[in-house]
Every structure is written in structure tokens, then in C-alpha cells.
Amino acid sequence: MGLLRGMARTAVVAGTASAVSGRVQRRQANKFAEKDAATAAKEQQAYDAQMAQQQPADQEPVYQQPPPPPAAAGESRTKQSSSSKSSPR
């Protein structure tokens, strides 16, 4: 009987500890989720404010044309060599 009573007592303690641990874990997860949501909202507001300052809403974005690509090294040599070949000396 003593062994059975000891096992029952251990099971009750273990079950209570598991239940308490689960509640604590859920509570902490909810608390941190709320903090994360508040932080994300603040970051989004700061980003929106920064974007509003950089470009007014009534203006269209202005894009510049990219510069032309540089001439290839082989093109300049062929023009020079062909012009020197065609003129007699």
C-alpha cells in the first residue's frame, strides 16, 4: 500500500506541475505576442512617417534615364585600324 500511495502522490504532483507550467507558458506567450504587436505597430508608423516626408503624396515619382553603356574596347580598335589601312602612304 505504501508504494501505491507514493506513486499516486508523485503522479498528482507531476500533473499539477505540468498544468502550472503550461499555464505559465501560455501566459508568457500571450504577453510577448502583445509586446511584439505593439513594437511592430510603432515601427510601421515610423516607417510611414519617414516615407511621407521623403515624397509628397501629390507628386509623381521622377525617374532619370540611365547613362549609355560604355563603348566596348574592341570597337575603338577596329575603327582606328580600319581608318589607317584605307589611307595609302
Q: How many CB atoms lie within 10 A of CB 48?
A: 10
On whether the pTM is more than 0.75, the answer is no
Identify whether 76 is part of a domain: no
Pull the grid cell for residue 75.
570597337
Identify whether 82 is part of a domain: no
Domain count for the chain, please give it.
1
pLDDT at 32 over 60: yes
Question: Span 32-46, mean pLDDT?
Answer: 92
Percent of the chain clearing pLDDT 90 (strictly above): 25
Pull the grid cell for residue 67.
547613362
Question: Span 25-49, mean pLDDT?
Answer: 92
Could you tell me which residues come within 8 angstroms of residue 55 by beta carbon, excluding any fewer than 6 positions away?
61
* Rounded Cα distance, 43 and 48, in Å: 9
Identify whether 68 is part of a domain: no
What does the mean pLDDT of the chain come to? Answer: 78
* Rounded Cα distance, 38 and 34, in Å: 6
Q: What pLDDT does 53 receive? A: 82
Identify whether 63 is part of a domain: no
Domain that holds residue 43: 22-55
